[in-house]
Amino acid sequence: MVIPGRDPAFGSLDALKNIIAEVDLILETMPDLPQNRTGRSRELLHTALAITDDLISENRKAENIPRSSARAQGRKRGRAAWSGLSSRASLLESTYLAVGD
């Protein structure tokens, strides 16, 4: 459900969190799979829940910043700050991908 005035991604993050939690509940209530697959799957789901919670909290923080203030900060910091932010985001993304391998 999309709430007017709120970022549509916020609703999809809540939906993603609910799906992950439901899959975890299904795995919890079914018989264990061989070779510890159930345990490992649940560990990965808990990690996914933590990442989703982090994204939701970051999204809420971003919603509380007035747009004019964010624009002013962007102008004040300049283009170099945004490129640094982009490189940090790429590093974080590659770190998450490396952990999942």
Q: Which residue has the tokens 């970051």?
A: 58
Q: What is the reported pLDDT for 84?
A: 67
Predicted pLDDT at 75: 72
31 contacts 21 by C-beta, under 8 angstroms: no
Q: What is the mean pLDDT of residues 16-22?
A: 91
Q: Please tell me the predicted confidence (pLDDT) of residue 1.
A: 46
Taking only the tens place, the pLDDT of each residue in 25-82 is 999 999 998 998 999 999 999 999 999 988 888 877 776 666 666 667 767 776 666 6
Q: Is 56 exposed, middle or buried (0-12, 13-18, 19+ CB in 10 A)?
A: middle
In the DSSP assignment, the letter for residue 65 is S
Which residue type sits at 33?
Answer: L
Answer whether residue 100 shows pLDDT above 60: no
Mean pLDDT over residues 4-9, rounded?
54
Place of tokens 């964010």: 70
Verdict on whether the full-model pTM lies above 0.85: no
Q: How far apart are CA 27 and CA 44, in angstroms?
A: 12
Structure tokens given for 49? 């829940």
